[in-house]
Amino acid sequence: MPAAPQKRSSPSYEELDPQIEALVNEVIERVADKWTMLVLEVLDVQGKLRFTRISEAIPGISQKMLTQTLRQMERDGLVKRTVYPVVPPHVEYELTEIGRSLGEAFCGVWLWAEKNLKKIEKSRAKFDQRAAVRFG
Amino acid sequence: MPAAPQKRSSPSYEELDPQIEALVNEVIERVADKWTMLVLEVLDVQGKLRFTRISEAIPGISQKMLTQTLRQMERDGLVKRTVYPVVPPHVEYELTEIGRSLGEAFCGVWLWAEKNLKKIEKSRAKFDQRAAVRFG
DNA sequence: CTGCATCCGAAATGATACTG
DNA sequence: CAGTATCATTTCGGATGCAG
């Protein structure tokens, strides 16, 4: 998509080839996943952890989703998986360098969410109220 | 939801009540949505736009998803919707102050993705190769 | 032009049972 | 303990038709 070259009043993201941009979008979609972010935070905060510890730290997650998420993160190089060949199995997960840097990058969003939580809730309440009025 | 208060050993993002944290997570999940981010970027770059313009700027999106996304963003106070009572209808969308600040917050993630794209692809290739070997 | 309602198939996720 | 496999369910998303 040749997207007519456009002036950006305030270049906040950078100009990119459409192709690169698509790839970046894809990466972000993957990484901005709900569980991925929670796992990221847990590992960032608590360091090296076993499978069960992580699942305990993330209340709603199923073992299926945790496995899946950890695999993806491992594949993307965000997480390092260490298996100790003992019985019963002992597996540890920890963030890699890239993983930690992603944590930092997300920090901005985290802070934003924290900071704007009240405003958002207020906005929602207002919106819902207006909607309710409309339908009597 | 009384959610048993939990101890956190080493807070990296800020110590938060589990309740606040849950809300923050919820906000992030909402906001980290695929279409939301694309709409966010388009409006950030191009400013005030009509419905059809936005849909043109985001190749894969269906009208349903665009409507849905814009509604959510409006509800969260990220987007301002202006209706000109003319016929045919004329509706314009633009980011609010909060919306723009979210754009900035996400900028870090965007840059991260751009910067680490290569590493991620390399990591994936390696991972997939190992997996392939495992299964002959 | 904008956008809501509905139907339908596809994909994501959860619950459960089982294995090394 | 750390998964895999399977099945049931929910959710998502696209297509279509209609309305203000």
- Domain count of the fold of chain A: 1
Q: How confident is the model at residue A135 (pLDDT cuts 50, 70, 90)?
A: low
Give CA–CA dist A38/A110, Å, rounded.
Answer: 11
Give CA–CA dist B126/A96, Å, rounded.
Answer: 15
CA atoms within 13 A on the CB side of B131: 10
Q: What is the pLDDT of residues A2-60, one digit of tens each?
A: 333 333 433 444 456 778 888 888 888 888 888 999 999 999 999 999 999 999 999 89
Q: What is the pLDDT of residues A82-99, one digit of tens each?
A: 999 999 999 999 999 999
For B43, the closest chain A residue by CA position comes to A8
| DSSP-based three-state secondary structure for B3 | coil
Global pTM reads 0.84
Interface check B102 vs A, CB under 8 A: yes
- Residue A3 inside a domain? The answer is no
- Residue A2 inside a domain? The answer is no
- Residue A8 inside a domain? The answer is no
The CA-CA-CA angle for residues A84, A61, A108, to 5°, reads: 95
Nearest nt (C1') from A88 Cα: D1
Distance (Å) from the C-alpha of residue A58 to the closest C-alpha of chain B? 11
Contacts of B20 in chain A (CB under 8 A): 114, 117
In this prediction, residue A21 carries a pLDDT of 81
Residues 27-56 of B with CB under 7 A from strand C: 50-52
- Residue A6 inside a domain? The answer is no
CATH number of the domain within which B85 lies: 1.10.10.10
- Residue A11 inside a domain? The answer is no
In this prediction, residue B29 carries a pLDDT of 82
- Residue A7 inside a domain? The answer is no
Would you call B23 and A117 a contact, using CB atoms and an 8 Å cutoff?
A: yes
- Residue B5 inside a domain? The answer is no
Residues 6 or more apart in contact with residue B5 via CB below 8 angstroms: B17, B18
Domain range spanning residue B104? Answer: 16-135
Give CA–CA dist A117/B23, Å, rounded.
Answer: 8
Q: What is the pLDDT of residues B34-88, one digit of tens each?
A: 899 889 999 999 999 999 999 999 988 999 999 999 999 999 999 999 999 999 9
- Residue B6 inside a domain? The answer is no
